[in-house]
Amino acid sequence: MKIKLIAFLTILLSVPILAQSELPNKPWDKGAFETKSYRNYFAEMGYPQEEIEGKLNEIFQELFYGPDKVYFEDSDSTAYVSDIKNHDVRSEGMSYGMFAAVQFDKKEMFDRLWRWSKHHMQHQDGPMKGYFRWSCKIDGTPNSQGPASDGELFFITSLIFASNLWGNDTGINYLAEAQFILNSSMEKNGENGITPLIHPEHKLITFVPSGYGANYTDPSYHVPAFYEVWARWADDGRADYWQECAHESREFLKRVVNPETGLSPDYSNYDGSLLGNNRIIGDAFRFDSWRVPLNITLDYSWSCVDKEWQQEYGHKIQNFLYDQGVDSFVDQYNVDGSSVSEILGAGGYKALRHSLGLVGSSAAVSIVCSHNKSAEFVNQFWNAKHEPYEDGYFDAYYDGFLQLFSFMHLSGNYKIIFPRD
């Protein structure tokens, strides 16, 4: 008890002292599609705007240009993002890099990443046409020919935003590239085991759009607001369909999240039930699942059409993690909140940690919450450092991107990019 009290006082002294009237506002009732406004939760808590902007830029610079950077320019016109600990380039990371680049108005970076992705990762013809190899060596040699659906999800949205921000006459027709992915996906009919990105019957994103992986989904791939972006600006004649997909994705999230803990599994059936495959990756809340709080926060911030459930979700997952210790909760649980029987390793290390990626995403969901605990999550995240853990493990890539995206949310900088007037 004494140790916990000392830890609490240490945290308390390191954050702004706010009067009751200055505590963060209650969650908003309208999303940015309607208002074009975003919550700056840090500012609501009393952090100076200059410090917020400085810290955001520092996180971006460290991720892309610092000593432990994940971004590498390998020619006059191309660049890649590497998952350093796994020594490869992933469609996930390339699309994350492009999403960050367009959010920060870094056109050269965006174009470099896209050229590398299109040249080395995207299938230009054949059964996989339009899809991206999910993993390549840093020299572009494929580690796999198959896709992973979250990469396509972020590629499409990033390209549409690039079209909205920079237009399509500066060397790359971003909208045409997004449409090529969408049209190629929708042309798939199951031949050779290749399916659309979105399962035709369930209108939910596949884990992978090929083989057995098309029979289930990954809850962390569900970003309903992205389908609303496609409905508005993809200009592919499927606006109503994408709106249906957004609705079905929101309904799926309600089914898959544990009603007591707010935790979700890494993989699940389309009805939200556990796969029950008795494999280490699948039924538990592990690395993939850290992104679910971010995705629900995003949907609330942009669309705000399911706000009552999203607020309940935010309270549940924060209450669970708070009870585990706001400064000590670990990064893997069974979805009922019990301890995992086997720890999933990463980068040659195997340990339960208070991981930065989950510290960030659990803080970001404060945007949807109305209880006082949220401020503690946000303060913990503000003071968290991206550095090696006690056992020497360091994840520049995944922790780094989740730190950046979480900070963007909490500072009001994870934005819809509307077409320029």
Instruction: Give catalytic residue positions.
Output: 92, 288
CB proximity list for 50: less than 8 A, separation 6 or greater: none
The three-point CA angle 274-202-296 to 5° equals: 65
Q: Which of 215, 208, 210 is nearest to 192 (CA)?
A: 210
Residues listed for the chain: 421
- 210 sits in the region (left: phi over 0; alpha: psi -120 to 50; else beta) called beta
Please return the burial class of 87, using the count of CB atoms within 10 Å of its CB with bins 0-12, 13-18 and 19+.
exposed
Q: Rg for the chain (alpha carbons), in Å? A: 20
Could you write out the DSSP letters of every residue in 228-283?
Answer: HHHHHH--SS-HHHHHHHHHHHHHHHHHHS-TTT----SSB-TTS------STTTS
> For residue 303, which amino acid is it?
S
Q: Which of 57, 80, 229, 220 is nearest to 150 (CA)?
A: 220
Q: Which of 381, 404, 298, 403 is nearest to 42 (CA)?
A: 381
Give the DSSP letter of residue 328.
T
According to DSSP, the residues that pair with 346 across neighbouring strands are 349
Q: Cα separation of 366 and 370, whole Å? A: 8
Q: Cα separation of 214 and 193, whole Å? A: 9
Q: How many helices (H) and strands (E) does the chain have?
A: 15, 6
Q: Which of 368, 372, 369, 357 is nearest to 406 (CA)?
A: 357
3-state secondary structure 87-143: CEEEHHHHHHHHHHHHHCCCHHHHHHHHHHHHHHHECCCCCCCCCECCEECCCCCEC
